[in-house]
Amino acid sequence: MEISNFETNIQAPLGIVNLKEDDKDVVLEQKHAVDWVYRGEGAANLVLAYTGSSHSFIGKVMRIPKAPRNGSPHVRSPTALSTQERLLWRDVDGIVSSPNKEIAAQLYVQHVMSPLLGSEHVDAGMRVLVSREFLESVEKNVICQRPAWRVDAAKADTDRDSVLLLTDHSLFPGGTLNGKLCVSVEIKPKCGFLPFSRFISERNAIKRSITRFRMHQALKLHQGEISELSEYDPIDLFSKCKERIDKAIISLFNTPQNNFRVFLNGSLIFGALGAGANSTSFVISEAFEDALKSVIWADNNLRTKNFLQLVSETVYKSGVLDRLLEIQKLDNFDIEGAVHAYYDIIYESCPVCRESGGDKISQIYTSLHSIPLDESLKIVKDYLIAATAKDCSLIISFRPSEDGYSGSPYNKIHLDATNQIFDYKASFIDLDLKPLKKMEDYYELDKKIVNCYTRMVEAERSIKANTT
């Protein structure tokens, strides 16, 4: 379909590229909305996939920031970074002068996360200009596919003139060969290590032996966010040990929540769009086994097993999570240490130290308040980069290889059980810059998670004692 070009006086800031055709900015209008379909969403963004025939958009998704409806806690600030955030990220090219948070976030992906993760695994995207009517129209078109609770919480923010255009990682780059298929798996791995900081207080010592993800499950269950505890433990997925990675992938399949999805040529075949999925039932697993027919050449009842093996083997051999883990480990003070540095950089007296009443243990925290500002800035900056790495997702897309081990520039993986060779590509998505203000929420949530988990363990212990 034809996309009209408009001369426009909206300038893209330094380092940010607007989509252009014939040297003019492309502007999407109401009539183009029909080509965009619902692909998914998280707390902050609505993601749409392109189904039209314009070469500029084939193989792309559009990421539209959401605006909260009344009463939602997810408040969007339309202004750019705060003074302290500008100080924190001042080394990032162009970020200090970025006109809004979305542009700042894009520069952050480009200049911070991409170099850390490897540019071959990251697409920072480009901006495309959109009219309000386009945004209103796509918002209306996809509303019935969105989870009801997401609709209640927020809507597409129609009050902006550009959105982000990204590579659609659920399709193979350059399309599928000779109509062959692309199967892709999306994993939200969460934090893959046990914290080791000396700033973790004795009463929270449990954090050193149980992963944040597993403890958070207890809180999510208690708050009714999930109906069953996940079998998954990130520590297995990041272990670099094949057997433990196998275990993690099988657990993700059994209890996918919002941590595991599979797409076939861009259509969801496993997991839930825009939300978490319940534990995998017999009916769901049968349907998935069937959906894999065209991808895995194995007898019925063996396709899922072989597919999960393919995923596990790829995670193991590619080492793609090793780098992610190193970035997550930039959080080496833990929130119990980093929160003190945070209050120093926002020039507020530290409520955490105030509440602990100057006891002996709290001296270790007081020491954090006497370090130079640059060191405090580094602690918080590293903490926030690690927070991005703990919340992003990995998409691995597979395509049956046309030419065995030669030819295409993509990585190859051999599935021994079926003697199939696949090209694969691994990409990270959702590498958003976390707002500085979130440090306060992180500290509160950390306390809540530990308390809830501790109470759950105690309750289990007393039930056990009463029944024996």
Q: Select from 101, 121, 127, 169 the one that contacts ligand ATP (CB under 6 A).
A: 169
Write each residue from 233 to 272 as x if it is in contact with ligand ATP (CB under 6 A), else as -, in one continuous string: ----------------------------x-----------
- Give least dist CB 243 to ligand 5MY, A: 26
- Find out whether 197 and 332 touch, Cβ atoms under 8 Å: yes
Q: How far is CA 142 from the centre of its chain?
A: 21
Q: Give, as one character, the DSSP assignment of residue 188.
A: -
CB nearer ligand ATP, residue 47 or residue 226? 47
Q: What angle do CA 273, 277, 281 make, to 5 degrees?
A: 125
Q: Select from 26, 35, 42, 288 the one that contacts ligand 5MY (CB under 6 A).
A: 42
The b/e string for 201-226 (b: 16+ C-beta within 10 A; e otherwise) is eeebeebeebbbbbbbbbbbbeeeeb
Q: Which of ligand ATP, ligand 5MY, Zn ion, none does residue 340 bind to, with CB < 5 to 8 Å depending on kind?
A: Zn ion
Using rule CB under 5 A, residue 353 touches Zn ion: yes
Using rule CB under 6 A, residue 44 touches ligand 5MY: yes
Radius of gyration of the chain (CA): 23
Q: How many other C-beta atoms are found inside a 10 Å radius of the C-beta of residue 88?
A: 20
How does DSSP assign 290-312, residue by residue? HHTTTT--S-TTTHHHHHHHHHH
- Give least dist CB 125 to ligand 5MY, A: 17
Using rule CB under 6 A, residue 371 touches ligand 5MY: no
Residue nearest to ligand ATP (CB): 42
Encoded tokens for 415: 């599935």
Encoded tokens for 135: 């945004």
- Find out whether 398 and 182 touch, Cβ atoms under 8 Å: yes
Distance CA 352, CA 362 (A): 9
Write each residue from 5 to 44 as x if it is in contact with ligand ATP (CB under 6 A), else as -, in one continuous string: ----------------------------------xxxxxx
Q: Report the largest interatomic distance among the alpha carbons of the chain, rounded to a whole angstrom.
A: 78
Question: What Å distances lie between residue 176 and 173, 273, 350, 351, CA to CA?
Answer: 8, 23, 56, 56
Looking at 36-44, 127-135, 167-175, 315-323, which segment touches ligand 5MY (CB under 6 A)? 36-44
Using rule CB under 6 A, residue 186 touches ligand ATP: yes
Using rule CB under 6 A, residue 434 touches ligand 5MY: yes
Using rule CB under 6 A, residue 387 touches ligand 5MY: yes
Indicate the SS3 state at residue 395. Answer: strand
The pairing of beta strand 260-264 with beta strand 183-187:
antiparallel
CB nearer ligand ATP, residue 168 or residue 446? 168
CB nearer ligand 5MY, residue 42 or residue 266? 42
Q: Which of Zn ion, ligand 5MY, ligand ATP, none does residue 170 bind to, with CB < 5 to 8 Å depending on kind?
A: ligand ATP
Q: Which of Zn ion, ligand 5MY, ligand ATP, none does residue 434 bind to, with CB < 5 to 8 Å depending on kind?
A: ligand 5MY
Name residues contacting ligand ATP, limited to 389-428 (CB under 6 A). 391, 393, 395
Distance CA 140, CA 384 (A): 35
- Give least dist CB 19 to ligand 5MY, A: 25
Name residues contacting ligand 5MY, limited to 257-316 (CB under 6 A). 258
- At what angle are helices 438-467 and 334-345 packed, to 10 degrees? 150
Indicate the SS3 state at residue 257. Answer: strand
Distance CA 139, CA 137 (A): 5
CB nearer ligand 5MY, residue 426 or residue 429? 429
Tracing tokens 């980069």 back to the chain, one arrives at: 385
Distance CA 363, CA 361 (A): 5
Using rule CB under 6 A, residue 192 touches ligand ATP: no
- Find out whether 187 and 259 touch, Cβ atoms under 8 Å: yes
Number of residues that bind Zn ion (CB under 5 A): 5
CB nearer ligand ATP, residue 65 or residue 337? 65
Q: Which of Zn ion, ligand 5MY, ligand ATP, none does residue 168 bind to, with CB < 5 to 8 Å depending on kind?
A: ligand ATP
Write each residue from 117 to 156 as x if it is in contact with ligand 5MY (CB under 6 A), else as -, in one continuous string: ----------------------------------------
- Give least dist CB 30 to ligand 5MY, A: 28
Distance CA 105, CA 124 (A): 9
Cross-strand pairs, 65: 45
- Find out whether 295 and 264 touch, Cβ atoms under 8 Å: yes
Name residues contacting ligand ATP, limited to 62-121 (CB under 6 A). 63
- Give least dist CB 314 to ligand ATP, A: 17
The b/e string for 339-353 (b: 16+ C-beta within 10 A; e otherwise) is bbbbbbbeeeebeeb
Question: Contact positions toward Zn ion, by CB under 5 A?
Answer: 340, 350, 352-353, 365
Interface residue list for ligand ATP (CB under 6 A): 39-45, 47, 61, 63, 166-170, 186, 261, 391, 393, 395, 429-430, 432
Binding residues for ligand 5MY, rule: CB under 6 A, are: 42-44, 258, 387, 391, 432, 434, 438, 445
